[in-house]
A and B are shown apart, each in its own frame.
Chain A
């Protein structure tokens, strides 16, 4: 599904900052993976490259056997739209659109008609238990509800990969559990490939594979099949 080979990335804001120093990584279809690391370790940069939001300097990135490199903005937009669903820490809902319109937005860029779009959006909102909130504006929703709207939006275009950047970062522990449970269900029931970036070991513990990243290189890759074996206890995430 995802094949990274010697990905390098340097930022040139003032002094050059070598963020990714040769990342080699393979993620198979249907995996539920977390990328863990301290802040500044390069985990977010890696996720942005995976999401074609940012480019890389050297190396190779294959997504679904397509080489993602030097794409035009239009092509990149198309790939993002069809293949990738994003979940952000700060939700990134459009403030002047209601929940349903926010969810329907990716379909707008696929050219799906208005009626069909809104039907689908309602379907996904219902799945996430937000049917009654469909016509509410984002500022009328709680953090957990906003993130669920964002998840619905990420799912509506039926992407192969879900990229979640600190999805619980702005949530309290209770809603964090809810959100992680949703992601787990999506993985289990729909077989989606999910990549979660986090610095919280409790969140990472919910995933099947934990990729540790440190100073721009991949450290340990941990298989994590027993989600309850964490030292932080059952159903409890460290916050």
Chain B
């Protein structure tokens, strides 16, 4: 064993530049693969994180315009939703719907506290809002059933709105003005990508204060028993049919109401992630391949250069197997050593990315978006990639080695 190491050390030291170049191509291949995978994981994690707080089984219904005539009614009618539709939704699909909620909104409301003011949308919501949306209560309490029943003037603000209205003071417990209406701040909520965050008030309060009657802007509900795409499609179809009968539109009219299905979106997102994942692996593997080609190329040159030496060794009694072993072990040592360096460097860089840009949020004032999160690679995958490279490096060495072994000693001795 020590002899072998000495032999390899000898040849490597004799060709420092060549070894360094081969090593570089190997290290670079594995380094790029890991950095690419890490960056890709960062993107995928960010996508996943954005929607992670949303309930997988939530659905939302928005009103639209009819696109097909129905029973003598022309297309292009506005469909509106009301409280009755929400109740009907719950009644019609008891086996699938767990809980329903609805939102009614009043936009362009000026909220002010002392000298600060913001223009905002007030969303009238139910207590189950946090179950249906990607919103989390950060502080205080959320709207409860009693708020709904008594039509209380309480408000839950987004953390960004709080920053604007209460730059220095505590928000909870304060009364804020909303164009003549006074609301008591009871809680603060946060969500992931807040595109102009709304302020949340009890559903019944918005209905009353802003004269909404029983019209609502959207219906939201959580479902059960919808576990695949087919079931999701079936449910959507059934739902359209039910609403079509109530609202006088064709069951196959896709634009009369818009159904947003978190589950379907999740499946699409999964497919998107999968494609991204594959793309990254393909690029990575091709990078790795260039490293392997580098090793193979260098081994070919090495073997050609050393043919004379192998001739001498054969004349002195070297068996073909010993020559084969010499070349392959050299190839393995080079790829292992530099592959390891590349792997460690790659992991170091991904960890560095994680520290520096681990949670990169793009803040564009009105909304912020996480687009880079935890850009690291599973150690197992890094090791696997390195092992793949080592095996490939061995095979890359095997081909020229076999060639070297097959040359007759007398021809090898003549070569130079």
Contact = CB atoms under 8 A, between A and B. Distances in A.
Contacts, number: 67
A93 B308 CA distance: 10
Contact of A48 (B314, B320, B410): B410
A24 interface: no
Contact of B317 (A48, A94, A110): A110
Interface string B61-86: 00000000000000000000000000
A86 interface: yes
Interface string B294-322: 00000000000000010111111111111
A94 B309 contact: yes
Interface string A182-224: 0000000000000000000000000000000000000000000
Contact of B318 (A77, A92, A153): A77
A199 B315 CA distance: 23
A150 B353 CA distance: 58
Nearest to A91: B312
B410 A73 contact: no
Nearest to A75: B319
B338 to A, nearest CB: 21
Contacts of B410: 48, 53-54
Contact of A108 (B3, B14, B314): B3
- Name the residue in B3, B319, B320, B405 with the highest tally of chain A Cβ atoms < 10 Å from its Cβ: B319
A96 B10 contact: yes
A96 B12 CA distance: 10
A51 interface: yes
Contacts of B313: 94, 105, 109
A80 B309 CA distance: 16
Interface in A157-180: 157
A114 B319 contact: no
A29 interface: no
A114 B3 contact: yes
13 contacts: A48-B410, A53-B408, A55-B408, A74-B321, A80-B314, A80-B315, A80-B316, A94-B312, A96-B14, A97-B10, A106-B317, A108-B3, A109-B316
Interface string A75-117: 0111011100010100011111100000001101110001000
A78 B14 contact: no
B319 A73 contact: yes
A114 B11 CA distance: 18
Contacts of A48: 410
A27 B94 CA distance: 107
Contacts of A110: 317
B413 interface: yes
A49 to B, nearest CB: 9
Nearest to A54: B410
A53 B309 contact: no
A111 to B, nearest CB: 10
B10 A109 contact: no
B127 interface: no
B320 A73 contact: yes
A73 to B, nearest CB: 5
B214 to A, nearest CB: 93
A106 B10 contact: no
In the A-B complex, list the 9 residue pairs whose CB atoms are closest, starting with the nearest.
A81-B317, A109-B317, A53-B410, A54-B410, A96-B14, A77-B319, A73-B320, A53-B409, A92-B312
B15 to A, nearest CB: 9
A92 to B, nearest CB: 5
A76 B313 CA distance: 13
A92 B320 contact: no
Interface in B365-415: 405, 408-410, 413
Contact of B320 (A54, A77, A153): A77
B2 interface: yes
B407 to A, nearest CB: 10
Contacts of B13: 96
Given A92-B312, A94-B309, A96-B10, A109 B3 contact: no
Nearest to B317: A81
B308 to A, nearest CB: 8
Contact of A96 (B11, B316, B408, B413): B11
B72 to A, nearest CB: 95
Contacts of A54: 408-410
A112 to B, nearest CB: 10
Nearest to A108: B3
Given A51-B315, A74-B320, A114-B2, 11 more contacts: A53-B315, A53-B409, A55-B408, A73-B405, A77-B314, A81-B317, A86-B315, A93-B312, A105-B313, A106-B317, A109-B318
A48 B315 CA distance: 10
Given A109-B322, A114-B2, A77 B317 contact: yes
Contacts of B316: 80-81, 86, 105-106, 109, 153
Contacts of A55: 408
A92 B312 CA distance: 6
Nearest to A48: B410
Contacts of A157: 317
Contacts of B311: 92
Interface in B313-351: 313-322
B10 A53 contact: no
Interface string A35-69: 00000000000001001011100000000000000
B3 A78 contact: no
Given A77-B320, A81-B316, A53 B14 contact: no
B266 to A, nearest CB: 62
A83 B36 CA distance: 58
A94 B13 CA distance: 14
Contacts of B409: 53-54, 76
A54 B315 CA distance: 11
A43 B305 CA distance: 28
A76 B412 CA distance: 15
